[in-house]
Structure 1
């Protein structure tokens, strides 16, 4: 039967398992020591397990060598506990062999188990453990020591839809400038701008100097990846007042790829990128060189984060919005899955934060899509229902005009939608119930809260109203209704798919939805599709007619200082919403969307 010994750090010394109590001996051969090989081996293992290394060493024939070796094993392994098992000895005359099993408990719940043999010898009637390093581990040489070594886990990466990396673990360099550290701040600002503008075209000598004057001390000019820093480190090295620090972070592989979006994603995943570290126990020689690996547990990397963002669509959308001087933004979504394919904002829009997904704006005539859905759901009208489209209409005490006072007379609702007739849809909205617009908006995806992991979103706000004038103004997107480009992309995706998709950005991180989401009847969806196609074929979005089977709705929302330009719609399994803030004619938003579509590779 085997005998088990445990460190007293966690369990009491198992002296009850010993047939003879271990007694420290001053020298091998003392008559008061253990009298048999089993008792001596058990006493040695018990003392070693209890970290009483001197007592264990005194049971060997070379205590002066055994004591430091046994102590080194505990220290180098950073051990928390040792459990030792022994087997009955095999005795041949004055020698014996005792099999042992050690179970080391190491930091961070690591357990290392192995077996070996103690060689025993009898001299002048007393048994002792014949010392060599195999008494600690069978592969440990007499001039070697054990060493516990952590193996860091590879950190997770973030990749886009096709699998290419967009965020990778690595060092970043923050470049600081303190104008008080130089006698020539103007010259240093100029040198910084020259060296760094290749990474951020907004950096100019004036912008650097202005920021330096506003700062009380040093301020961050730019953050660079390692390869970017290496490219300019020589230019920065001798600039007085310029310094840097180096930190680990998640680093964009392309700083021009969805910079605002990747900033949000980095904040989301930064605490989840660490994998599970591995560990190993090695033998090390007297010179500190590694000799052998005795045990190894491989580190486990966290799985990569896969974004729904499509590199080609994102880049095409980004280039399209970057062509505008005004704030411009676009959201592109896959109706069949809810995958957010692109979130693009130009630098002017970035100044206000992630507005493409959470900024609220009056939607203008794009909201006529919601009004038409409400009218069809309430049985008030269908696409063929004839509605009046005079140049102006009076609702309560409010006179509502068409753009440039155009009129087309009495026409089917689809034609009023195609021409974006304010008077027709104001009248329709005025005849709806107080909750109808809100209910239809929710069925089209606007109103519920979407907790999209990695992206702050607000779809929109559509209030209930029993007040006639407000309802009429809301019905043409000029009242109290507000929507984000994300919300209007949800509207387009719902019409394209037939039901409202659940948007998501990071695979495996489901979106939580709060709020009711009713479904539109199939005939309502069909009616909306018919009308949106008419807008492209012969209405206000003819500019984009050459880009395949596009469905859409334009909108202009009057605001102080001008009007917002909108275009929302879909093509195939790709829904989009484009906003040019104070962009004037909705044709400008159509043009931005067309630029995005024309830049896509064949097959998109």
Structure 2
């Protein structure tokens, strides 16, 4: 009796304790469920797994459809977080969207509210589209739209229109298309398109459609109907910044297009719209686009057209770069068709500058002292200088002549002797005073001026002194040299009005008398030296150059100054400076009224 009475309370206590634990366990587990299901839901959304997120709701089919349409309309660059949950099942989420791409991307943040409950088959988010975007209801979805004000134009320095945003049509050709049927239609617009070239483009697409041609509106009308009827051909419209005059072309246009696009993106507005099934849309949130001012460049339309016409007849790679010395503004940059195929050689191509570099050599020698333009120096037909035999062109021999004559007649032997007497960094320092070897960051323009290494040996200085060896320059770099002589000091280049380039170093200034002396010698080059075929052009100053290289005939150069215009002409593999002189003549004789004075 005693034992039985003493054990019953223990059994009762154990039963009560067990029941208490069960009750406590159930009640302590319930508050965690809204937080757990909410966290699982946002994790799936953040992993771009719409189906997994939908499966955690009370209506997976509707949820999957709504989440998919949300991704279609807004993208997938979003981060959802659980902001708070309550024991009642109330859930609050926070969303942070990045809408659009790159620099033009917009940020949008908001919070939503919903409810989690036990469906009998586990905890679920009670499906309501408002859990994704506040205010969203069944039968509606959302979309992001960038908005723009009237597109800016690209203008020349006088306000003439160079480029505008235009509608173009992309002719996209699938691998299944018949190239023999498509090519003749496209050849009506671009004769370079042939069945063979189109077949090669299709093959290069590796099974993907390729864009065979981009058509302006006036060209589309000629071929739209027959192209649309061909299997495997689709026409897609886009807007692009294009030259107003379709014949106008310049390597500067790619840089200005990037600058234009940056300005358009920075000024763009945006909106998120709620869209009903019938297509009606209501703005939910957004920001209006800002006005975009026209982009005024330093280019001169007339000079640009003349420069293009001057190099167009040349089969070789050729370029003209023109600069306004008083401002550093780029007036024209033109290339021949074969140069265009190689890239922007006018701005970044590096070549030995040949005798045009003698402007630098004479400047360095004059600054070193003990020498004037009237100093008489030997100009033999050839000379052995530091073990290197230096000949003049066709071994012409002038005997003893003043420095200005040796410069005008382009005596290699004279210049080689002068270069030997300079310090190892003498030519490098002198070149930098003209901008050659200085790297500029110029808005809208990518350029390389050239390289003039330190010449540690006398033999290296001989080569450098006549623009050979390790010395290189771009047509842009040599135009900058001419502009510096014309202005009397180095002006940083400028392509967009008011936005001057910045150099990676600040060279020492040129003495005023040096540029004056060089200008006088360059005038003699035209009147009595190697550029006399241009002697009919008033007050033209210049320097010719022929540059040997390993891969073909010598390159031809001419740098010139007339009024407030400085320029460089380059013709690859020309054999002499004559093709460059002829191109300069075509350019200058067509632009006399346009030259800034």
TM-score when normalising by structure 2? 0.70
Identify, as 1 or 2, the structure richer in helix. 2
Partners of 2:454 and 2:397 lie apart in 1 by 30
Residues 410 and 186 from structure 1, CA distance in 2 versus in 1: closer, same or farther, beyond 3 angstroms?
same
Counterpart position of 1:177: 173
Residues 204 and 545 from structure 1, CA distance in 2 versus in 1: closer, same or farther, beyond 3 angstroms?
farther
Partner SS state of residue 315, structure 2: coil
Counterpart position of 1:258: 249
Is the Cα contact below 8 Å between 1:331 and 1:343 reproduced in 2? yes
Equivalences for 1:353-392 in 2 at 5 Å? Answer: 353-392=343-382
Match for 1:156 among 152, 155, 167?
152
Match for 1:188 among 151, 166, 182?
182
Q: Does 2:331 match 1:338?
A: no
Q: How far does residue 511 in structure 1 lie from its aligned partner after superposition? A: 1.2
Residues 160 and 589 from structure 1, CA distance in 2 versus in 1: closer, same or farther, beyond 3 angstroms?
same
Which digits, 9 at most, give the CA deviation of each residue in 1:450-472, with x for residues without a partner? 11111210101011122000101
Partners of 1:204 and 1:165 lie apart in 2 by 34
Counterpart position of 2:530: 540
Partners of 1:216 and 1:150 lie apart in 2 by 33
Partner SS state of residue 521, structure 2: helix
Q: How far does residue 302 in structure 1 lie from its aligned partner after superposition? A: 1.1
Structure 1 segments of 4+ aligned residues over 4 angstroms from their partners: 149-152, 276-279
Partner SS state of residue 326, structure 1: coil
Q: Does 2:577 match 1:577?
A: no
Partners of 1:523 and 1:422 lie apart in 2 by 24
Cα RMSD over matched residues?
A: 3.0
Q: Does 2:163 match 1:167?
A: yes
Partner SS state of residue 174, structure 1: strand
Q: How far does residue 151 in structure 1 lie from its aligned partner after superposition? A: 7.4
Unaligned runs of 5+ in 2: 1-105, 108-144, 272-279
Counterpart position of 1:307: 297
Which digits, 9 at most, give the CA deviation of each residue in 1:320-364, with x for residues without a partner? 111100001110000000000011111211122111011100000
Counterpart position of 1:563: 554
Match for 1:551 among 517, 528, 541?
541
Residues 289 and 221 from structure 1, CA distance in 2 versus in 1: closer, same or farther, beyond 3 angstroms?
closer
Partner SS state of residue 495, structure 2: coil
Equivalences for 1:354-433 in 2 at 5 Å? Answer: 354-433=344-423
Is the Cα contact below 8 Å between 2:170 and 2:236 reproduced in 1? yes
Is the Cα contact below 8 Å between 1:333 and 1:493 reproduced in 2? yes
Partner SS state of residue 366, structure 1: helix
TM-score when normalising by structure 1? 0.69
Is the Cα contact below 8 Å between 2:455 and 2:464 reproduced in 1? no
Is the Cα contact below 8 Å between 1:189 and 1:209 reproduced in 2? no
Partner SS state of residue 325, structure 2: coil
Partners of 1:597 and 1:577 lie apart in 2 by 12
Partner SS state of residue 153, structure 1: coil
Partners of 1:601 and 1:377 lie apart in 2 by 34
Counterpart position of 2:474: 484
Q: How far does residue 222 in structure 1 lie from its aligned partner after superposition? A: 2.1
Aligned pair count reads 447
Residues 471 and 230 from structure 1, CA distance in 2 versus in 1: closer, same or farther, beyond 3 angstroms?
same
Equivalences for 1:419-458 in 2 at 5 Å? Answer: 419-458=409-448
Partners of 1:535 and 1:158 lie apart in 2 by 38
